[in-house]
Structure 1
């Protein structure tokens, strides 16, 4: 596939890297229109789709344009370093937090004692004792997820599989970035952390994102480490989206009642009877549609009590919230969020509502936006024309912006079974989960 890069230098001008071509938007057209027309002409000349990386103000949007004029996006938008994996895969993961560290070890064998320093001999002082290693060199080496591991994807991964080679990924490849993200997810977190998924506009994909993030965290951190809970004032759709639906009695109010009846902390066995374990290892705690407590609504004290119970047994709570910012459970989830995740489809109403919500939070909860990430999601009914304004508005607030590609299971209301997710979705969720862990552990 033919690839080239275009840099937008103003609202009406752009330049094509490497060719010297200058694009100028005529009256009545935007520079994006000129880029599209230029890209389609390149595709027609090549007789095949072309891949265009459009850079502007530190952001990059990747677009594939076909000779028939079809244009599709799949790359991240926002302040995310991007590059093209020359093995043939688009690198649309996340920034590498740090370079992989390789630990080398000298060959085993007798080396003798080092000779004393000549100055020490002449002075008559005793030689400086050799400092012993804290860990025996006979210990088995640990797993190195960095460059020493052979490539599994891309051209190098295919060569490894076909020819039995052990080629390693390129340092800036998508595979290496995903390995770095996975390593971040497994890092240490505080004693108990809350990840809140919120947008007061309904139908924007809060529950799928909450389920996907919980699944990804549990996949890398291990079973019984994460709980995804429905903290909507009125029970939401969490029970209908998880792979294993809850049994009767497995809901928020049942757990709160069990805790009130217990003497001391709730035993793990009792807790387990109210949670629903999922294939990835995370637990789910859903709302309940038909109780007096539900009709009264899940309050702030209820949410706080629930978190107190879970804090004794789990590491991370992923809170799926409702649409009422006046509800006590919503206010608790947002005020206590160690990481706030805001899904935003490319629809002007959803973007506007989310932006207003964050503006309100910036005044009512100091520092909350420093722990916020906006997820731009692709789906039916999107309006790509609002993308640039949307991303610019959120970046102006100082929040991170990531991108989630279209996922049929998310959009179709199906149960979110990890094995049925597209690979691009799994990769994107890995990046999002790593960003969440970074936000949780940040000291800012």
Structure 2
């Protein structure tokens, strides 16, 4: 008997769905749940009720929006549920993938079978399931929190026609290490189906890319690994990027492995953007004094008074609000040498003074330099001039230098293609990445990984993977 086709459209909140029988005059049905799992349970309870009422298999096509490919499952009157590889042939063409058109598979060859909770007796044992051809999901649902504007993707090796990092094979962190983690999906539509129904749908390409990036971040780094975030233009997001990157790196490397260091000018916003405040007497200047007074014989317990642990596991070393004191080149170098004995990775926030010794140290000695550049004509122009001077200060030129295009209020995307082309080809920057718009960055609130939107965390994870790869690359030694 022909299966009953039902299309289920889930709205952006993930808490409401509309179910419509495609063959027949039945009105649409509104389904709701307190969370994603509850909604998916309501969807399958509705499908099972339809299957029992009609005595036929119900074919569900679940659509969570334009950025997520539909998921198709079949629900039998006995409450068996199985995923299928193809859609409703009488209503839609077979889905295409990166390898061409997906092959059709009879409904009698499910890719997985589970049970929906209920009173019906279990069905006869099924034969071993056959795995359906995997389709590439271009992108999974990201964060369900409301946002004032849509996040923009992150990109590597910028191209006006391809600006997403992680969705293309050459841009994914998996290609950096040659490992593509697999396993059941934990996020997006596939993750919700797995959680609600006990399925084992494979993670999407995008989710696999994030997992690969996480694996890369957790890998080894060289001694005295330093990442500097610089720009001579103020208000471009150096501090938010520094703290957010340190937070995300510590999330995957573990507590006590990453330190964010304030080498900015006095009265900057670094101390205002951390969750757990540091004591004003235990900052960069105090640590330098301790280093001098002890002859460098500093223990981990002594250092713990100066490093303040944040919720994500990173430590921060705040600066000093003293306009009469300025850290020089040697001061910054001594701090980095000391901290590197106790932490794997230093993420250094800098100020705007290009002539300051600490700024010059951050440019000349860091293996990786990140330059946040909002899409504003004046900022791009300043960055281009600064990049030329950076190349002359670094022993390996622009190797390890990455431009991070940030998306914020007042940006002008229309200038992007031409300006970025100048950065990548004219100025010799090899890697250009994009950070999505992040409300916490723009609001001035304290920053920790848990406070950031999922697209931002994913972008930071992929950025972190590129940082680790650059740190361990042959040109950054």
TM-score, scaled to structure 2: 0.64
Aligned residue number for residue 247 of structure 2:
215
In 2: Cα distance, 1:297 partner to 1:329 partner:
8
CA contact (8 A) 2:224 2:337 kept: no
Aligned residue number for residue 65 of structure 1:
none
Gap runs ≥5 in structure 1? 1-48, 52-61, 63-70, 103-144
RMSD: 2.7
Question: 1:73 Cα shift?
Answer: 6.7
**1:405-444: CA deviation from partner (whole Å, max 9, x where unpaired):** 1111101111113222111111111011111111111102
Aligned residue number for residue 62 of structure 2:
none
Matched, 1:163 2:194: no
**1:299-347: CA deviation from partner (whole Å, max 9, x where unpaired):** 1111011112112111111110000110000001110111001100011
Question: 1:399 Cα shift?
Answer: 2.5
- Aligned residue for 1:342, secondary structure, equals strand
Question: 1:250 Cα shift?
Answer: 2.1
Aligned residue number for residue 279 of structure 1:
311
Aligned residue number for residue 457 of structure 2:
426
Q: Which moved more, 1:76-85 or 1:306-315?
A: 76-85
- Aligned residue for 2:304, secondary structure, equals helix
Question: 1:265 Cα shift?
Answer: 2.3
In 1: Cα distance, 2:185 partner to 2:389 partner:
46
Matching of residues 221-300 of structure 1 within 5 Å: 221-290=253-322, 294-300=323-329
In 1: Cα distance, 2:461 partner to 2:382 partner:
26
CA contact (8 A) 1:233 1:299 kept: no
Aligned residue number for residue 371 of structure 1:
400
Aligned residue number for residue 191 of structure 1:
223
In 1: Cα distance, 2:172 partner to 2:181 partner:
15
Question: 1:100 Cα shift?
Answer: 8.7
Question: 1:98 Cα shift?
Answer: 3.6
Aligned residue number for residue 150 of structure 1:
184
CA contact (8 A) 2:155 2:163 kept: no
CA contact (8 A) 2:151 2:455 kept: no
CA contact (8 A) 1:235 1:286 kept: no
CA contact (8 A) 1:343 1:374 kept: yes
TM-score, scaled to structure 1: 0.68
- Aligned residue for 1:370, secondary structure, equals coil
In 2: Cα distance, 1:369 partner to 1:254 partner:
34
- Aligned residue for 1:167, secondary structure, equals coil
- Aligned residue for 1:357, secondary structure, equals helix
In 1: Cα distance, 2:192 partner to 2:252 partner:
25
In 2: Cα distance, 1:179 partner to 1:186 partner:
11
Aligned residue number for residue 43 of structure 1:
none
CA contact (8 A) 1:233 1:329 kept: no
Aligned residues: 326
Aligned residue number for residue 79 of structure 1:
157
Aligned residue number for residue 415 of structure 1:
446
Question: 1:350 Cα shift?
Answer: 1.0
**1:49-87: CA deviation from partner (whole Å, max 9, x where unpaired):** 978xxxxxxxxxx9xxxxxxxx967223442699899xx
Gap runs ≥5 in structure 2? 1-64, 68-138, 140-148
**1:158-207: CA deviation from partner (whole Å, max 9, x where unpaired):** 2211211112224xx11000011111101111022010000110000000
CA contact (8 A) 1:243 1:279 kept: yes
Q: Which moved more, 1:376-385 or 1:387-396?
A: 387-396
In 2: Cα distance, 1:208 partner to 1:182 partner:
21
Aligned residue number for residue 358 of structure 2:
329
- Aligned residue for 1:296, secondary structure, equals coil
